[in-house]
Copies of this chain bind each other. A is one copy, B any other.
Amino acid sequence: MSRIEPRVLKGFRDYLPEVMIPREAMLEAVARVFRSFGFHPLATPALEYSDILVGKYGDEGDQLLYRFEDNGKRDVSLRYDLTVPLARVMGQHGAQLPRPFRRYQIAPVWRAEKPAHGRFREFMQCDVDVVGEPSLVADFECMQVGVAVLRALGVTRFEMRVNDRRVLDGLMRRLGVADSRQQVEMLRVVDKLPKIGWDAMLAELRTKVELDEAGTQALHTFLHGSLDAVDDRVVDLDVAGPGLESLRTLLGWAAELGIAEHLSVDLSIARGLDYYTSTIYETFLTDLPSLGSVMSGGRYDRLLALFTGEELPAVGISLGVDRLLAGLGELGLLPASAGAPQVFIAVAGAAQVPYALRLAAQLRQAGLVVLQGLGADQKLGKQLKLAARVGARITLVVGDEERLNGTVGLKDMTAGSQVSVSAAEIVAQVRALIPG
C-alpha cells in the first residue's frame, strides 16, 4: 500500500506530550477546585439531534454547526457548547437530580469557524453551572470558583470584571433602543469595544441602532464610568436598579472575603451571547491584558425553560482552557521538567531483564515514575544517552555483576556521580535523592 499523507484538518490540532502534560495537570487542578465547592461531573454525547442545538446560538452560531445526516438519516450535529446540552439534560433527567444542581463538564466542542491565530474548530470547554437557584449567592459562588481556580494555578494578579445585563437594559431603555433584536445587536457591538476601540464601535452602532449626540454622550459616560456615576440621566433606574444593587452586594461580599482586589465592576462588559439575564463577568490576567478573558460567564434564567418547560434559573462560569494554558506558559507558571521520568533503568543484556523489571516494580510501588530501558540488545551507552535525553533524574545500571551480587549502579544524572548500592536498599537510596 502506498504511504498515506499524514495531516490534520484545518482548525484542528494534535496535542503532543509537551503541551498535554501541563494541560492535564492544569485540568486536574481545576477539577479539584470544582469538587471542593461540591460540583459534580457530567458528560453528554458529542453528537446531538440538530433540533436540540439549532436556534440557541443566533444565526451566526447555526452556520458554524458541524451538522450532517448520519447513517440512519438522522439530522445530527456536533456539540457547539456545554450549556445547551446541560439544558437538555435538565429537561430529560432533571427530576432525578438535586436542586440546586451543581455540575462541571470538561469536554471538547466543535465550531466551523474561520481558523485564525488562536482560534480553532475543536477546542476544550470547562464549565461549572449552578442550576435551580435564583439566589445571588450562586452567582457569587461561580465567581469564587473562578478566583479559586486561578489561585490554585499560581496566578496572583488577575481581575474579574462584573456587570449586570439589567443595568445595560436600563441604559438601552434610556437610549431608546427598545427593539429586542436591536438590543441583542447593540450588546454584541459593545462586547467588541476592547477589540475594535471606541470609534469603530460607535460607527458600527450607528448602522445598527440610532444614536443622537446626547445618546452617544450618555453611552460614553456609562461605559467609562463607575458604579457611582450611574444615575437616572444615564440609565432607566426602574430597569437598572436591581442590577446596580446586585453589583454592590457582590462587591461587598468580595470585600468581606478578602478577594476585593480580584473583583471590580466594569459597565462595558456585555458578553456576546443572547441568553444572559443579569450578572455577567469576564476575567483578565493583569500582566497579560491582550490575552483576553480567560474565564467568563453569568446568569441565564430563561434558557433552560426551552427544554424543561418550567422557569429554571441558572448561573455559570466557563474556563478558556487553552487560552489560560498559553497565559500560564507566558507567565512562567508551568513546571519546566513536566513529564521527565524520575528513574531510568538501563540494562546490559537480556539476562538482566527480570532483575531490572523487579527493581522497576519496587520503585513504582514507592510512587516513583520509572522508565524501563527496553532495548536489552542495545549498547549500554545508547541507553544512557536516552536516559539523559528524556531528563531522568537518576539512572540505575544493571549488568551481570550487579545482578549476581544483588546490587545496582546508581547514577546521579545531576551530579554525574555513580555509586554501587544494594538492591535491597534501592528505594531508600533513590528516595534520599528524590523526596516523595
Q: How many angstroms between the C-alpha atoms of A372 and B368 in the bound complex?
A: 38
Contact of A122 among B47, B108, B137 (CB under 8 A): B47
Most buried by B among A3, A6, A71, A140: A6
A71 nearest CB neighbor, chain B only: B112
A198 cross-chain contacts in B, Cβ below 8 A: none
Distance, CA A133 to CA B383, complexed state (A): 13
Q: Counting CB contacts under 8 A, is A8 at the interface?
A: yes
In the assembly, how many copies of this chain are there?
2
Q: Which residues of B contact A300 (CB under 8 A)?
A: none
**Are A41 and B20 in contact, with the CB atoms below 8 A?**
yes
Count chain B CB atoms within 10 A of each CB in A36, A133, A368, A390 and give the residue with the most.
A36
Which residue of B is nearest A392, CB measured? B38
Q: Chain B interface: which of A87-95, A230-238, A273-281, A418-426?
A: A87-95
Q: Which 8 A-B pairs have the closest CB atoms?
A: A6-B91, A17-B40, A68-B68, A38-B371, A256-B354, A12-B45, A15-B43, A6-B92
Contact with B along A122-139 (1 / 0, CB 8 A): 100000001001010110
Q: Once bound together, how far apart are the Cα atoms of A257 and B141, in whole Å? A: 51
| A14 located at the interface, meaning its Cβ lies under 8 Å from any Cβ of chain B in the complex | yes
Docked CA distance A71–B110 (Å): 12
Tell me, rounded to whole Å, the shortest Cβ–Cβ distance linking A107 to chain B: 9
> Contact: B36 with A4, CB < 8 Å?
no
Are A37 and B364 in touch, CB under 8 angstroms?
A: yes
With CB as the reference atom, state the residue of chain B lying closest to A102: B371
Q: Quick check: is A377 within 8 A (CB to CB) of the other chain?
A: yes
Q: Which of B4, B89, B309 contacts A52 (CB 8 A)?
A: B4
Interface size on A, residues (CB 8 A): 101
The reply to whether B88 and A6 contact each other, CB–CB distance below 8 Å, is yes
**Residue numbers in B under 8 Å from A390 (CB-CB):** 38, 98
Asked whether, in the complex, the Cβ of B66 is within 8 Å of the Cβ of A70, the reply is: yes
* In the complex, chain B residues whose CB is within 8 Å of the CB of A48: 8-9
CB under 8 Å from chain B, chain A span 273-317: 305-309
Q: Cβ of A78: which chain B residues have Cβ within 8 Å of it?
A: 46
- Interface flag for A7 (CB, 8 Å): yes
Which B residues are in CB contact (< 8 Å) with A42?
Answer: 14-17, 20
Task: Give residues in A with beta carbon < 8 Å to B.
Answer: 1, 3-4, 6-10, 12-17, 20-21, 23-24, 28, 31, 35-38, 40-49, 51-52, 66, 68-72, 74, 76, 78, 88-93, 96-98, 100, 102-103, 108, 110, 112, 122, 130, 133, 135, 137-138, 140-141, 144, 148, 252-253, 256-257, 305-309, 339, 341, 353-355, 357-358, 361, 364, 367-372, 374-377, 386, 389-390
Instruction: Quote the shortest CB–CB distance from A353 to chain B (angstroms).
Output: 6
* Interchain nearest-CB distance for A426 vs B (Å): 16
Chain B residues closer than 8 Å to A15, beta-carbon distance: 41-44
Docked CA distance A44–B13 (Å): 7
A307: which B residues are within 8 A, CB to CB? 3-4, 6
Decide if B257 touches A358 in the complex (CB within 8 Å). yes
Chain B residue at minimal CB-CB distance from A390? B98
A-B contact pairs, 10 of them (CB 8 A): A4-B52, A6-B90, A6-B307, A9-B49, A14-B92, A16-B42, A130-B374, A135-B375, A138-B374, A141-B374
Contacts of A138 in B (CB 8 A): 374
CB A28 to nearest CB in B, in angstroms, measures: 7
Could you say which residues of chain B place their CB within 8 Å of the CB of A140? 357
**Alpha-carbon separation in the docked complex, A377 to B257 (Å):** 21
